[in-house]
Structure 1
Amino acid sequence: MATEKQQFQLIAEDELSVKLIDAQYALKDTRGQKNAKSLVVLVNGIELAGKGEAVKQLREWVDPRYLRVKADRPQPLNESQTFWQPYARFIPAEGQIMVLFGNWYTDLLSTAMHVANPMDESMFDHYVERMRAFEQDLKNNHVDVIKVWFDLSWKSLQKRLDDIDPSEMHWHRLHGLDWRSRKQYDAIQRLRQRFTDDWIIIDGEDETRRDQQFAQTILAALEHCPEHLTESNKKWQQASIPEILQQPPQEEVDKTTYKDELKKLSQQVANTMRMDRRNVVIVFEGMDAAGKGGAIKRIVKKIDPREYEIHTIGAPEKYELRRPYLWRFWTKLQPEDKITIFDRSWYGRVLVERIEGFANVAEWQRAYDEINRFEQDLCEAQTVIIKFWLAISKEEQASRFKVREQTPHKRFKITDEDWRNRERWEDYLQAAADMFEHTSTDSAPWHVIATDDKNSARLQILKTILKQLGVG
C-alpha cells in the first residue's frame, strides 16, 4: 500500500549507482530462465513535481542502454480502442526495464478532467478496476509493475510556475489543466485519491530526496521481484464433453442450394461487416482439417483485401516467448483494423499448449480469466468477437488428411505433426469442452459448427456471423 511519506535513508550516489547497475544486470541475466522477469514503471503526478528530473537522474545512475523510457503527451481515452492498445507494444521483454512516462492513467486523468465532457465517477472507477486487472495479468506473466505518483503542494507548485523558464511554459498544461487554477488542482488531487492507494507516493519538495526515493523504489523492485506461481491453487473440475463434438451430425446440402446460398450470404456478410461501425474479430479454432481455411476464403470472397487482415497463428517466435502470452495478440489487434480474422488464436494456451505441456498447469488454468478480460476490454471498445469451433468426426479427418497427401497443391497442409495429433484426439475434445465452459460469455460466445459436410459448415458460419452482427 502506498503512503504519503515513504521511509528511506539517503545513501551515497556512487553506492546507489553500483547497486542499481548490479540489480539491472541481474535482471538482464534472467532472460530465458524460469525466473525471468521484466519491469514496467508507471510515472504520473502533479506537474513540476520533478517527474522528468527523477527519471533523468535514474538514467544517469544506471546503465542507460538497458533502461528504456517512453514519454507521451496525454490522450483522451477512445471508446473505439482499449486503454492498453497504445502501449501494448512497449511492454518490455524478459530482462528489460521500461519507464512509461505517460501511460493509461495519464489518459484516464486527461479524459476525466475534460472540461466539455467530464467522466462520471462510476466510469472512472470502472476504468481503474480494468487497469488494475490488466496490471495483475502482467504480473502473473512475469512483468512486475511499479506505479509512482510525484506529489507537490499547491504553494510549491505556484512558486515553481513563477520561476519556470518561459521556454518550458508549454509543458505545464498537462491533462489540459491550467495549473494556476486551484479548482483544477484540487480536482486532480481528489481524482488521484481514487486510484493511488497501491502507488508509491513521492514528495517532490526536496529534489535530492525525491530523486533518491525514486531510484531506491526501482532498486527495491529489481531486488525483490515477486515469485510467480508454477502450480495451480485452484481445484480443477473438467467440463462434460458435448455429444455434438463426439458425434457430429451427418448432414449434407445439395450443390445447387449451396452455390445459391453461398453467393447471397457471402455478399450479405461483406456488406454487413463493411457498414457496421464496430470492428469485427473472427476467431477460428477446431480440429486439424476441419475447414478453417476454406471458411475464411468464403468470408472474405466479397471483401476488398484492404478491408481485412488474416493472422495465421503458429508456435510463438523466440522474441514473443520473452513477453506475456497475450502480447503477440495485443499487438496484432489495432483499432484501425476494421475486420481481423484469426486462423488459430490466443486459445492455443488452453488447447495445444495445455495438451503438449508448453504451458504449466497454473498458466493454462489462469489463462481462461486472462482471455475473458482481454475479450471484455475489446468488446467494451466497440469490437465484435465471433468465435468458431469447427468439429468433424475422427473418420472424416483421416479421409481429409489422405486427400491432402494425394493432392499436389494441398500437400503443404499435412505434416507428421498432424498425424501425431490424432493420438491426442480425446485430449483435444476435453480441452475444447473446458474452453467452452470457461470462455463462452454473453459478449463473446462460442459457436460450435459440427458437421462432416464442408458446404453445410460454410453456410452455417456465414449465417452465424450475420446473426451475431444483428442481421437475420
Structure 2
Amino acid sequence: MHDTETELELKSEDLTLKLIEAQYALKDTRAKKNAKSLVVLVSGIELAGKGESVKQLREWVDPRYLRVKADPPHLMNTTTPFWQPYTRFIPAEGQMIILFGNWYSDLLATTLHVSKPFDETLFEAYTQQMQAFEQDLKNNHVDVVKVWFDLSWKSLQKRLDKMDVSEQRWHKLHGLDWRNKKQYDSLQRLRRKFTDDWLIIDCEDEQQRDHLFAEHVLKHLTNLPNHALKVRSKWHQAPVPEVLLQPSTEVLVEEDYKAELKKLTKQVAAALRVEGRKTVIVFEGMDAAGKGGAIKRIVKKLDPREYGIYNISAPEKYELARPYLWRFWNKLLDEENISIFDRSWYGRVLVERVEGFASDVQWKRAYDEINRFEKDLSDTQTVVVKFWLAISKDEQEARFKAREQTPHKRFKITNEDWRNRERWDDYLEAAADMLHRTNTAYAPWYVIATNDKYSARIQILRALLTQLKAE
C-alpha cells in the first residue's frame, strides 16, 4: 500500500529534520574518536531516477555540506589503477560526497563497450579488488554506501517512449543503447555479480524511490562508528636480520667508483625511459644513510622534466583527516612516469609506530593495506622498487658530526635527528617487521647495508637495473 500525499509530506518534513541533524553531527565528528566521512556510490539503469533522487536529497539536506561529483565512465586500462580517477575526491572526516561516476560504472562500461571486453574471471577479480579497496577506506574512517537504482525493461521502454528525441540521444548513456534488450540483460547480469552488499531500489514508484534513497543515506549518517582500539590477533615480532645489525665496512676505491658510476647512470636512465611503463622508487632507512646521495645519482642522466621527487615529512592537518594512503595516491600522477620517494607510505610502520603517532591497530593493519596498494600499482605496469639503507650506529654519529661541521650540509641535521638515535633498536625492530611483511614478488625490498657511501650507491644502481630488466 502506497503512502498518501499528506503522509509523504509529513514523512518528508521528518526526514529533512533528521538528515540535517545527522549532517551536522557528522560534521562535528572531525578530529574526534568517532570521526568518519561518507562516500555514496550511485549507479543503475538509465531513467530509473538517480539524478532526481540525488536532487531531492539535496533539497532535504543542507546543500553546502553535500558534494555531488558526476563524470562519464573512465574506460579502464592496463596502466591506471581503478581508484586513481577518484582518490582526490575522497572526503575528509566530517564530509560526504555522492559519486555518480565511480569504479563500478567504469567496470561495467569497459566490459560492455571495449572491443576486447573483460572475461568473467577478470571481471570478478576487479570486483574483489574494489571491495578490498572499500574495506580499506572503511578501516580508515570512510564509510562507503552503494545504491543501485533498478528499473524493469518494460518500464524503461515506456519512459523512453515519453521522451523527446533529442533527450533520448542525451540519455544514450556512455554508449549504451537502452532500446537494446541484449545490452540491458548483459548489464543486469553483470551488476548482480557485485551488488550483494548494495541497496537495490525498485524505481517504479518515484516518491518511494526518493525516500528509500534518503533513508538509506540517513542510516549511514547516524551510524557513527566506534573505531577499533585493540588488535585481536597476537603479534609476532620478526627477528632483526643480521645484515642490519652489522653493515659491511668494505670500501670501494674512488677511481673504481667513478668508472662504474659513469656506466651505470647511463644504463639506469635508459632503463627508466622504457615506454609504456612507470617506475616508483622508494627510499627508507636510518637518518644519514645516504638516501639523498643515491637519488642524486639515479637522476644524474635524466631530464628534470622526466621525474618527480617527493620528500615525505609529517602529514599536514588536512591529510590527517583522510585515509592514510590518500596523500600518496594523489602524488602518483598520470603524466609522471618516474616517481621517487625520499621516505614514503612506510612511515606508518616506521616512525609512526615507533613514536606512537599511529595506534597499534593502525600500524598493524597498514602492512596489508600497503601490499594491496603496491599490487595495484604493479598490476597496472608500474615497477615498484624499494630500498632500505642501513648503516651502523657509529657511522651515523660520524656523519651527523660531519654535517654539523659542513656549512652546506648543516640544514640536514636537527636536534630531532640526534633524539631519534635513542630509539635505534626500536627502529631496527620496526624495519625488521616491515621487511618481513611487505617484501613481495611484485614489490621487493633491496637492503643496502654498508657504511661506505660509494658502495651503497653502486649497489642501488645495480639493484635498480636488475628490477627494471626483470619486468
1:167 Cα offset (Å):
3.9
Report Cα offsets for 1:89-135 as digits up to 9, x if no partner. Answer: 00000100010111000000001102522210000000000000000
1:276 Cα offset (Å):
4.6
Report SS of the residue matched to 1:340: strand
* Aligned-residue identity in percent: 69
Aligned to 1:431: 430
Aligned to 1:174: 173
TM-score, normalisation: structure 1: 0.97
Give yes or no for contact 2:35–2:225 (8 Å, CA) kept in 1: no
Aligned to 2:63: 64
Report SS of the residue matched to 1:148: strand
Report Cα offsets for 1:318-376 as digits up to 9, x if no partner. Answer: 00000000000000012321000000000000000000011000000000000000000
Give yes or no for contact 1:280–1:338 (8 Å, CA) kept in 2: yes
Q: Does 1:307 align with 2:295?
A: no
Q: Does 1:98 align with 2:97?
A: yes
| Structure 1 residues 385-404: aligned runs within 5 Å | 385-404=384-403
Q: Does 1:275 align with 2:274?
A: yes
Give yes or no for contact 1:144–1:225 (8 Å, CA) kept in 2: no
**Residues of 2 paired with 1:165 and 1:459: CA distance?**
69
Q: Cα distance 1:246–1:276, how it changes in 2: closer, same or farther (>3 A)?
A: farther
Aligned to 2:287: 288
**Residues of 1 paired with 2:258 and 2:436: CA distance?**
35
Q: Does 1:329 align with 2:314?
A: no
Aligned to 2:207: 208
**Residues of 2 paired with 1:212 and 1:386: CA distance?**
50
**Residues of 2 paired with 1:97 and 1:167: CA distance?**
34
Q: Does 1:73 align with 2:49?
A: no
Report Cα offsets for 1:387-437 as digits up to 9, x if no partner. Answer: 000000000000000011111111110000000000000000000000011
**Residues of 2 paired with 1:348 and 1:376: CA distance?**
18
Report Cα offsets for 1:64-90 as digits up to 9, x if no partner. Answer: 000000000012102101000000000
Report Cα offsets for 1:160-181 as digits up to 9, x if no partner. Answer: 1111233422332224211101
**Residues of 2 paired with 1:191 and 1:344: CA distance?**
41
**Residues of 2 paired with 1:174 and 1:383: CA distance?**
32
State the one-letter code of the partner of 1:407: T
Report SS of the residue matched to 1:201: strand
**Residues of 2 paired with 1:276 and 1:254: CA distance?**
36
TM-score, normalisation: structure 2: 0.97
Report SS of the residue matched to 1:26: helix
| Structure 1 residues 328-407: aligned runs within 5 Å | 328-407=327-406
1:471 Cα offset (Å):
6.5
State the one-letter code of the partner of 2:190: L
Give yes or no for contact 2:286–2:390 (8 Å, CA) kept in 1: yes
Give yes or no for contact 1:279–1:335 (8 Å, CA) kept in 2: no
Report Cα offsets for 1:140-189 as digits up to 9, x if no partner. Answer: 00000000000000000001111123342233222421110111100000
Report Cα offsets for 1:197-222 as digits up to 9, x if no partner. Answer: 01000111111000010000000000
How many equivalent pairs are there?
464
Report SS of the residue matched to 2:465: helix
Q: Which moved more, 1:347-356 or 1:329-338?
A: 329-338
Report SS of the residue matched to 1:146: strand
Give yes or no for contact 2:33–2:226 (8 Å, CA) kept in 1: no
Q: Cα distance 1:471–1:150, how it changes in 2: closer, same or farther (>3 A)?
A: closer
Give yes or no for contact 2:35–2:94 (8 Å, CA) kept in 1: yes
Aligned to 2:157: 158
Q: Which runs of 5+ in 1 are unaligned?
A: 1-8
Quote the RMSD (CA, aligned, Å): 1.2
State the one-letter code of the partner of 2:245: Q
Q: Cα distance 1:426–1:115, how it changes in 2: closer, same or farther (>3 A)?
A: closer
Aligned to 1:129: 128
**Residues of 2 paired with 1:423 and 1:277: CA distance?**
45
Aligned to 1:5: none
**Residues of 1 paired with 2:225 and 2:188: CA distance?**
30
Give yes or no for contact 1:113–1:175 (8 Å, CA) kept in 2: no
1:277 Cα offset (Å):
2.7
Report SS of the residue matched to 2:77: coil
Aligned to 1:417: 416
State the one-letter code of the partner of 2:130: M
Report SS of the residue matched to 2:226: coil
Give yes or no for contact 1:283–1:387 (8 Å, CA) kept in 2: yes
Aligned to 1:28: 27
Report SS of the residue matched to 1:113: helix
Q: Which runs of 5+ in 2 are unaligned?
A: 1-6
| Structure 1 residues 137-152: aligned runs within 5 Å | 137-152=136-151
Aligned to 2:3: none
**Residues of 2 paired with 1:268 and 1:318: CA distance?**
41
